[in-house]
A and B are shown apart, each in its own frame.
Chain A
């Protein structure tokens, strides 16, 4: 099984500790960002494209997502980045080194994180899934989830786009859970 290196985009073995081509690993990222751990909010808007009311609406959506899927939790960051590579590298680092507040439910493992990063200036968005979420959602499916917001984000309707993404993500996860609960008795 292969995966693409977030740094050089070349295909590498899934069990590789570091990229054999560029020597990329999460430890290297910590050196890049000069932090072993970062404490941040579950929802943050460093760019300022969302007003106070919109942040409240998004917070409610995040709480709803958390309630529906007790093993997972959603993190949304609106930020600025130079390019795609920086966005994905920052995402991976945040996924592994981030400590998020408020985290009311300490029982949730960070493996269950779904990280959504949106960069309005460079017009990029990415979804990164933790180790617990990843087996349930393929990259293709996550891309389709992001596509829901494509036209909305083009029109700079960032809140609406984010809500569309959350709704579609919830729907796909529900479908997956229903399918598993339906098939499980057949194969057990």
Chain B
């Protein structure tokens, strides 16, 4: 088996540090000239039928906005003429949702094409009493500074990861983030990330650890176990016991943890469902695992690893069966020790 030298399979949509204060950066479009532009790159060869944005707020009766794809001109700005577009009048039931809008005509883009997605006023009464706000980016004090992709809000460029996406009936691209969840997990609850790799990726591999973002218990004497298990047979393969007192930020803030399993490290197979599980060992261990929530499981295709990596939960006092939350992606990356292709 080939030594992978502990490379990580990065499954996060954002490059970032421990995001202790993750929130959405929002922008209000309350005059006829204000607009949001996201500059992104098409990274596949597909026909795009929908564009998606996250509606953050409505004031009064929102006007109708136009969401469009634009070419990018030589000076790096969005071309004024839309490639295709859709009009959208925000409504209350869309609040805090990632909203998919069907384009008036599908848009076929070659791989690698740079485009702008622009949302701007189209019609209706707009002003301080009639407006809507959209989430343009993820904010977090420790998130990486992004040069590209990026967003511009009324002329001001932003370095934080954008919140915008596009899709067709088969696949989504971009960052269709509806919510950032920090659900507290307490004994005997368990939470984890289910993963499955295609059989033709190779014969087998070994995972020596995981990188995750979350918060450990702040009070003393608490424990959190992280384990690797085969879902179908409910067979635990590896487990590491964490003394939360060893964590520098326990109970204070989210942190990014690199955790390694003790011996033995099992050889596991492609084409098999596994889970990286997180198991608080005390009733008052208020652990959370930072998790991105999408509006639908298809949206998960936009993230590295696609729809085969999603959140699972179970309550051991009730059942050992995992509940599958296929629209949620925990912030977990796998540290691979060996890979046999």
Note whether A and B form a binding pair: no
Give A contacts to B, CB under 8 Å: none
